[in-house]
Amino acid sequence: MSDEIGEEALHAPATLRNRDPILAVLARVLPPAGLVLEVAAGTGEHAVHFARGLPHLAWCPSDPDARALRSIAAYRARARLPNLMAPLALDASAAHWPVPRADAVVAINLVHIAPWPASEGLMAGAARVLAPGGALVLYGPFREPDVPTAPGNTAFDADLRGRDPDWGLRDRAAMARLAEANDLALTERVAMPANNLILVFRKR
């Protein structure tokens, strides 16, 4: 990492590959104005890219990890974007989030690298902060009952479960059922590069 950003900034190589395809979908499904809460923002590289590409939206990154929060802050300091807010400490599985409302919620590569309670908390939290019609946008690899799992995703799932038995690819149908239990509906499935998906849920 260059001195221009500082030692606190982390780098996720996949970000450079997936940020533009994700941004293209976000530009279409997010509202024309308002606040977007990014849950589990990780390094902060996506937050900068999306805030720059969507200047009409206020982008609020969050993460439960102190190191990630420092990385997000480092990227934000360099970017100096007026619509990129300071990062918040937020655990998706917590019963209360430090954000009372949001016009959309975005979570990239979260649900498969976290225990199932994180998915439960994400759906419940999104339902609390979103107004009717507000979007929860998830990106990542998912299992689907009607689509063969790509060999790369099968290997990735095994690797995740080897690192933590509570991790692993989530089933799209299970996510849809969890959403329904929280007054959210799966309204769109978008195929993405490298066998990933974007799932768009809307608050009823």
Q: How large is the average pLDDT for residues 134-156?
A: 96
Q: What is the Cα–Cα distance from 158 to 172, expressed in whole angstroms? A: 18
Structure tokens of 44?
């902060």
Q: What is the Cα–Cα distance from 142 to 182, expressed in whole angstroms? A: 20
Where does 30-65 have alpha helices with state H? 45-53
- Segment 52-107, tens digit of pLDDT: 999 999 999 999 999 999 999 999 999 999 999 999 999 999 999 999 999 999 99
89: in domain: yes
- Segment 34-56, tens digit of pLDDT: 999 999 999 999 999 999 999 99
161: in domain: no
Quick one: pLDDT band at residue 2, thresholds 50, 70, 90? very low
105: in domain: yes
User: Which residue shows structure tokens 């919620």?
Assistant: 105
* Single-letter code of the amino acid located at 143: R
152: in domain: no
37: in domain: yes
Helix (H) or strand (E) holding 116: helix 116-129
23: in domain: yes
- Segment 169-184, tens digit of pLDDT: 999 999 999 999 999 9
157: in domain: no
191: in domain: yes
Which domain range does residue 188 map to? Answer: 13-135+174-203
CATH number at residue 42: 3.40.50.150
Say how many domains are in the chain: 1
